[in-house]
Amino acid sequence: MNAIKLDTISLCRYEPRYADLKNSFKNESKSRFINSITERLESSMYNDNFTFQSAYVVLDKDIPVGYAYLSSVHNDEVFLEVSVLKEYRGRKLGKRITNEICDYLFTNHNIKCVKLDIDPSNKVSLISAESCGFVCDEEEYEARNFCGKVVFTKESDCYINKRRK
């Protein structure tokens, strides 16, 4: 299985045909994190555990528009990272990608919570996370304070409903 088909997008394993993405991501940011995206994509090519601890090329109508990284599951929680290529920003793609991945995780895996780490200076990402239903997790931020990034969480309605019964 080399792809996860979601509602309107697909998550695909990195392949040599996506080599041009290396330069696209590298030229976008001075951030060490962003520049490590291609390394994550390439190393995920050989990951036997397809869903988690893997980076994916995000395809919209077979066009690479960004990347998504799903970290390992801990206590039914997963961290999600999403980046949209500069030329595709401003089209609400980040929001659509985030929502579709969350829906997929909540529906197909026993995930109760998806978390995002967002740099507080990235106002667009903060607004996008909140519009996707994520809320700031002050306790998690205090506990982790991962490079000064704000932690946002979104819980599965299904999970919450199961726990209320």
Please give the pLDDT value at position 152: 72
For the ranges 5-14, 47-56, 136-145, the lowest mean pLDDT is seen at 136-145
Q: How far apart are the C-alpha atoms of 100 and 58, rounded to whole Å?
A: 11
State mean pLDDT over 36-54: 69
Please give the pLDDT value at position 8: 95
Residue 36 — very low, low, confident or very high, per pLDDT cuts 50/70/90? low
Task: Reply yes or no on whether the pLDDT at 15 is more than 90.
Answer: no
Pairing of strands 63-70, 77-84: antiparallel
State mean pLDDT over 90-99: 93
Q: What is the DSSP letter of 73?
A: -
